[in-house]
Amino acid sequence: MSNFSVGFRQHDSVHILDLHGELDAHTAPELEAALQQCLRNGNYQILINGRDLDYISSAGLGVFMAYIEEIREKGGDLKIAELKPSVYNVFDLLGFPLLFDILPSEAEALERFARGERPTLPAT
Amino acid sequence: MANAQRFLLLKRPEAAVGHTLYTLRIPSTTRHLKTVRRFVERHARAAGLSSEVIEQLKLAVDEACTNVIKHAYKGRPDQPIDIAVLIEPDRFIVRIRDQGEAFDPVHYRAPDLPALIRRRQGGGLGVRLIRQLMDEVTYQSRGRYNEVQLIKYLARSGTALPPSANA
């Protein structure tokens, strides 16, 4: 019995993944499978909604790290919205807010998709 | 103080003077990470630690156990991982022991996030996270055991003992 699940929604061309429960090394493969499904279907505008995400470890963050380059190369982006403060803290500790669009609300994230804005990695 | 000691001895059979110990053993699969987090959360809450510190301890023990499963035991299931919570007057310690391959903290280099992303690599941040979350982290190899201790100082981060223990 998994304590994590992913729900799918769509808003125009943006595919929204609703994360529920606890994301750790045991459940991260479920998030990875959901992302791979988006990419297989040619969907590169992905919004992660963390409203019901109660916990994340580095294994969960690792899924975003592993796919963001491929998604941006295809002209898309992966943005993250509505994280709980305790979950946002983990992203923040590792420096994710500089490299990923992390927005307080889903509406703001959708606006950024509509404007075509996305962060870029610092030059090497 | 005599009262305090009697309280600890009565409540907790394994208690030594000013030092309380709870233990949990899990097999080396990620399925049990949730159990470990609940175990640490329960004892950290009972010790009166703040929600923020409880979240930090849960994450640090999760990362440490994940590393044991993936690196010390290289994904082999059914190897033992022993977790202990030690409550001392000035510190809350989570001790993790395994019998797998030792981790070498001396040669560990904290990875750079943009570099990992460029390599499409989704890992390697656990040790860095543990060090950021804890006040002190120690590693030791003793005989067959590897041991990591995740330490939070109580003076800085919360209440040391349950109120009745200070009576």
**pLDDT tens by residue, chain A, 124 residues:** 579 999 999 999 999 999 999 999 999 999 999 999 999 999 999 999 999 999 999 999 999 999 999 999 999 999 999 999 999 999 999 999 999 999 999 999 999 999 999 998 887 6
Strands lying side by side in the sheet with A14-23: A4-11, A14-23, A45-56, A77-81, A101-103
Q: Which chain A positions have a beta carbon within 8 Å of B52's beta carbon?
A: 86
Those of residues 5-64 in A touching chain B at CB distance below 8 A are 22, 24-26, 55, 57-59, 61-64
The residue behind tokens 């703040």 is B50
3-state secondary structure of A22: strand
User: Which residue of B29, B58, B59 is the best one to mutate when testing the A interface, meaning the one whose CB has the most A CBs within 10 A?
Assistant: B59
3-state secondary structure of B109: coil
Domain boundaries, chain B: 2-161
Cβ atoms of B129 and A93 closer than 8 Å: yes
pLDDT at B104: 86
pLDDT at B109: 84
- Per DSSP, what are the bridge partners of residue B49? B158
Cβ atoms of A21 and A4 closer than 8 Å: yes
Put simply, the answer to whether A24 touches B31 (Cβ < 8 Å) is: no
Average pLDDT over residues B133-141: 96
Cβ atoms of A30 and A63 closer than 8 Å: no
Residue A13, min C-alpha distance to chain B (Å):
25
Indicate whether B65 pLDDT > 70: yes
Cβ atoms of B78 and B27 closer than 8 Å: yes
For residue B122, give the nearest of A26, A63, A89 by CB distance: A63
pLDDT at A1: 56
Cβ atoms of B109 and A64 closer than 8 Å: no
The pLDDT-based confidence of B3 (bands split at 50, 70, 90) is: very low
Q: How many CB pairs lie under 8 A apart between chains A and B?
A: 83
> In CATH, which of 3.30.565.10, 2.40.160.20, 3.90.226.10, 3.20.20.150 is domain B2-161?
3.30.565.10
What does the angle CA A16 – CA A21 – CA A27 come to, to the nearest 5 degrees? 90
Put simply, the answer to whether B114 touches A122 (Cβ < 8 Å) is: yes
Q: Which residues contact B140 (CB under 8 A, 6 or more apart)?
A: B146, B147, B148, B149
Put simply, the answer to whether B121 touches A3 (Cβ < 8 Å) is: no
Q: What is the mean pLDDT of chain B?
A: 85
Q: Which residue of A has its CA nearest to B57?
A: A57
Between CA B108 and CA B120 the distance in angstroms is 20
Between CA A12 and CA A116 the distance in angstroms is 14
**Antiparallel, parallel or unpaired: β A45-56 and A77-81:** parallel
pTM as predicted:
0.88
pLDDT tens-digit readout, B83-127: 999 999 999 999 999 999 998 888 888 888 999 999 998 888 999
pLDDT at B18: 60
Put simply, the answer to whether B66 touches A90 (Cβ < 8 Å) is: no
* Amino acid in position A19: L
ipTM value: 0.94
pLDDT at B20: 80
Between CA A87 and CA A97 the distance in angstroms is 12
Residue A55, min C-alpha distance to chain B (Å):
9
Other C-beta atoms lying within 10 Å of the C-beta of residue A84: 14
Q: Tell me: domain A4-103, CATH 3.30.750.24, correct?
A: yes
Residue A59, min C-alpha distance to chain B (Å):
7
Q: DSSP H helical segments within A1-124, as ranges?
A: 28-40, 58-73, 85-93, 106-115
Indicate whether B82 pLDDT > 90: yes
Q: Which residues contact B30 (CB under 8 A, 6 or more apart)?
A: A24, A25, A26, B66, B69
Between CA B85 and CA B93 the distance in angstroms is 6
Put simply, the answer to whether B129 touches A58 (Cβ < 8 Å) is: yes
User: Which residue of A57, A68, A93, A121 is the best one to mutate when testing the B interface, meaning the one whose CB has the most B CBs within 10 A?
Assistant: A57
